[in-house]
Amino acid sequence: MRILLSNDDGFRAPGLEALHQALQEVATVKVVAPEHNNSAKSNSLTLTAPLYVQQAANGFTYVNGTPADCVHIALTGMLAEHELPDLVVSGINNGANMGDDTIYSGTVGAAMEGYLFGVPAVAFSLVDKGWAHLDAAAKRCAELVRSLMPLTHGQAHTAPWLLNVNLPNRPYTELGALQWTRLGRRHAAQRVMTQDNPRGETMYWIGAAGEARDATPGTDFHATAQGQVSITPLQVDLTDHDRLPYWRALLPPTESPR
């Protein structure tokens, strides 16, 4: 099996290194990751500047772009046909990607880019920042990838899938069971912070993410708070299917002008 591994924290991030190490025993792993931290870049693509691909001394490939750029260029020409992955893996991220985070997450964005190109994909995040118990998380991630192998491309072909995994920072023996979850919800983010720069101009800093609002049983927030490993299947269709009939009734289609 071939894995394309990326992240959003950049190619020097400990989470990428640890996951690469752990996945070595499962598959052939190619790393294509952003040069710099691209957290919260979602699925952003760089359309207004050229992208450059470079090799780090440790063999990782890095790109002066976003997580989605990395996966996009890898899948659309950078990799040779025989190098194309059976699975796209992203992470391990420094911090949770649960609930509303998934909309903003570059970690999820990298995985989603693979999914959009028809490759099964999984995003991994450590709930608390600071890399505590990273090796335990990487080991669990690799075990999960191994169990997903029969569901990837080269094997029994299924429609592509996209999974979002969040692991609590715990020693390996204290990591709970895998729990299938739905995304919880967060409160709106905290207020923007302002500071003056040395020239007296106001700088704005985006505030921290909101606290969990829906962390009820069944959610990713709840599972990780119990010490379990949360796994949520994601989809990309943003259509509000439930309210489509409501809108149709409210604003009936008009005759198209001829």
Residues of this chain that bind Mn ion (CB under 5 A): 8-9, 39, 93
Give least dist CB 26 to Mn ion, A: 23
User: CA 107 from chain center: how many Å?
Assistant: 3
Give least dist CB 91 to Mn ion, A: 9
Query: By C-beta, is 1 or 110 nearer to Mn ion?
Result: 110
Query: By C-beta, is 44 or 155 nearer to Mn ion?
Result: 44
Using DSSP bridges, classify how beta strands 193-196 and 202-205 pair: parallel, antiparallel or unpaired. antiparallel
Q: 99 vs 91, 109, 223, CA distance in Å?
A: 17, 14, 12
Q: Across the chain, how many H-helices and E-strands are there?
A: 7, 13
Query: By C-beta, is 66 or 93 nearer to Mn ion?
Result: 93
Q: Are 119 and 35 in contact (CB under 8 A)?
A: no
The residue whose Cβ lies closest to Mn ion is 39
Query: By C-beta, is 38 or 179 nearer to Mn ion?
Result: 38
C-alpha–C-alpha distance, residues 21 and 3, integer Å:
13
Give least dist CB 6 to Mn ion, A: 11
Give least dist CB 39 to Mn ion, A: 3
Residue 16 dihedral angles phi and psi, to the nearest 5°: -70, -45
Give least dist CB 93 to Mn ion, A: 5
Query: By C-beta, is 37 or 155 nearer to Mn ion?
Result: 37
